[in-house]
Amino acid sequence: MASPRFLSLLSIVTLSLLLTTTDASSRSLPTSHETTELNVVSSLQQTQHILSIDPTRSSLTTTTTPESESDPVFLNSSSPFSLELHSRDTLLASQHKDYKSLVLSRLERDSSRVAGIIAKVKLAVEGTDNETRYQPEELTTPVISGASQGSGEYFSRLGVGTPAKEMYMVLDTGSDVNWIQCKPCISCYSQSDPIFDPSSSSTYKSLTCSSPQCTSLRASLCRSDKCLYQVRYGDGSSTVGEYATDTMTFGTSGKVDNVALGCGRDNEGLFTGAAGLLGLGGGALSMTSQIKAKSFSYCLVDRDSGKSSSLDFNSVQIGAGDATAPLLRNSKIDTFYYVGLSGFSVGGQQVSIPSPVFAVDASGAGGVILDCGTAITRLQTQAYDSLRDAFVKLTANLKKGTSSISLFDTCYDFSSLSTVKVPTVTFHFTGGKSLDLPAKNYLIPIDDAGTFCFAFAPTSSSLSIIGNVQQQGTRITYDLANHLIGLSANKC
């Protein structure tokens, strides 16, 4: 049930806003292109909705799909296919007492993921690892936080084996190794579908230690000429098991045989919900590389909405009117997708940031990656300070909220407003294209009482990361063949 304070927001009249906020915003930012409107009431309604989702009454809990009269066709590298994409918080009922505790949990998990990514890149660039809790293989957290931990990762339903057993897998552009939990378990966490039994699949094949897939692993062992894999994550969680191949089925689109994936028998950490992970990174063992995809595309729905979108391979074309950015690769590490970012503007005014801040240097350090598993965009400290200061300068008329909450140092009190005009934040990419962000992609609710925070955060690392809060509602297309990123607003 909605709190009394939340319900009171619904009765706020537009006149109040016009007298207190809109006029002041209009005086400082006279051009409509320089401002965008945040729907406060709609955002706060979603904070109530995500806590009240009952997965037992949702189609997401379906564990089996009626068999088709015809067997799915085998896909090739140019075949288009699609999967439904969900926010992971819709998989299990929330364990949080209120929205603020959910947000703080998300941010805690997010910090762990970012630390892992930074450590992984540092290891690749420098060849050393000063953070001993991080290991060289697959530093990430989407599969470990789970819906009960309140994280905001995204997942799709796939079939594994022959006959296909359907299960939810977390999607991660920051990982390469695909894996699922398997019987018999030494240690398996709770998942929403039955744990996969490889003996039930006629197409499951163990990989030998000399196989190309095994030798491509960053961490592997050999036992009786069977390849064993190990993947460690940013908070010390891990999965260990047999590395094998099997057929994977993508809904009604078709199937791919001989996909290399880990069959995890010992899975430690705060794993909950999903059966495993589908790696969409740029390394040789990722799903995108194994199927030789020419492109893939996703649209991340608002993780508080309970809605779904799609993950598409080889089908979405970058439109003439879409924002585009160069898709760059780092010779020191092939997992991550780097993007050419030149800067920002706030309220139509260019933010002063030196161009080298977003560049990859000769050693492979620095640059900007696009990551669907990181929630909050991290910017190198100098860039963040400039962006935040520009935003604060143009929002002097807005009521300030709590001085700082977790990652955020700039917050506002919108408890008396139904809508509010705020300066538009714009990404500028190398090549000249730009993308205006919707207000809800950079001012997010922290509680259900009307506190909103500026959803960027600084990092002392030279690496910047564009996270999924800033990507929500925008279709992101990775044109791998032409080394281009497309960003299409409102095409979900």
Question: What token pair was written down for 201?
Answer: 């699949």
Sign (positive or negative) of CA dihedral 398, 399, 401, 404: positive
172 included as an active-site residue: yes
Q: Which residues of 114-139 are buried (b: 16+ CB within 10 A; e: fewer)?
A: bbbbbbbbbbbbeeeeeeeebbebbb
Question: What token pair was written down for 82?
Answer: 């699609």
Q: Say if strands 295-299 and 308-313 run parallel, antiparallel, or are unpaired.
A: antiparallel
Q: Which regions of 383-436 does DSSP assign to beta strands (E)?
A: 411-413, 419-423, 425-429, 434-436
Question: What token pair was written down for 241?
Answer: 């098991």
Q: What is the 3-state secondary structure (H, E, C) of 109-125?
A: HHHHHHHHHHHHHHHHH
Q: Determine which helix (DSSP H) or strand (DSSP E) holds 52, and give its type and residue range.
A: helix 40-52
Question: What token pair was written down for 252?
Answer: 């009604």
Q: Please say whether the beta carbons of 374 and 303 come within 8 A.
A: no
Can you give the length of the chain in residues? 492
* The one catalytic residue among 172, 176, 322, 479: 172
Structure-derived torsion over alpha carbons of residues 287, 209, 144, 235, reported in degrees to the nearest 10: -120
CA distance 283 to 91: 28
- 251 Cβ neighbours under 8 A, 6+ residues apart: 81, 82, 83, 84, 157, 158
CA distance 286 to 280: 5
DSSP 154-214: EEEEEEETTTTEEEEEEEETT----EEEBSSPSB---BSSPPB-GGG-TT-EEPBTTSHHH
CA distances to 237, 270, 379 from 229, in Å:
14, 20, 33
Q: Please say whether the beta carbons of 196 and 241 come within 8 A.
A: no
Number of Cβ within 10 Å of residue 72's Cβ equals 18
CA distance 306 to 94: 12
* The one catalytic residue among 371, 409, 447, 479: 371
- Residues forming the active site: 172, 371
